[in-house]
Amino acid sequence: MTRIAAVLVRQSMAQAAPEGMDPDEFLEAMAEDTYEMVAGLQLVTPVLVTSVPGLDAIVWPGTEVLTIDEDEPLKAIMSRFDGDQAVVIGADAPDLPPLLVGKLFRELGRAQITLCPAEDGGAVALACGLPMPEWADPDLDDPDPVTTLRAQAPGRRMVATGPGWHRLRTPEDLTRLDPGLEGWDNLRALLKAH
């Protein structure tokens, strides 16, 4: 079974940069941390999906980099993957524990789509079998993606959720980063230097 773990980077994710910090530098550090978590996972193929030019410098050699439009829908992005299952993770979750990604794949045994809901709405990550079910038109920035997808689904129990996490969407969200958690080293160093 081929499993893809894709990190989604959109330019708009730079808006969480604290005042006085270069938003592009902030976005790159955040995306690199999220990518490194994904690249360290067992039995998955990491992919970087980005609307931001120049980010191929953060990935390991051989990693596929897909260039997208800033507002390209998730369904269109998922249609470009070649594998059996895929998870897309927002790059604005640099401290996401790898265990939560594994739980999304595991839930696919009983549902067609699984979500890691984000605190304050939206989703941190979404996993599904490939190709994505015809009925689904997901959006990680939908205020209530679970309700939306369940309304789109033709039957019950087609959409499952794993444990939730947080995304960095505003400078205030940086307080959610847990200094005790492993990972997010690039962003941690950048914030310390700031």
Q: Residue 20 carries which DSSP code?
A: T
Give the pLDDT means over successive 10-residue stretches in the chain (194 positions): 97 96 97 97 97 96 97 97 97 97 96 96 98 97 97 94 96 94 93 90
Describe the strand order of the beta sheet including 159-161 as a list of residue ranges: 64-67, 45-50, 3-9, 85-90, 123-129, 113-117, 159-161
Q: Is the overall model pTM greater than 0.75, yes or no?
A: yes
The kind and range of the H/E element at 123 are strand 123-129
Residue identified by tokens 């980010």 is 55
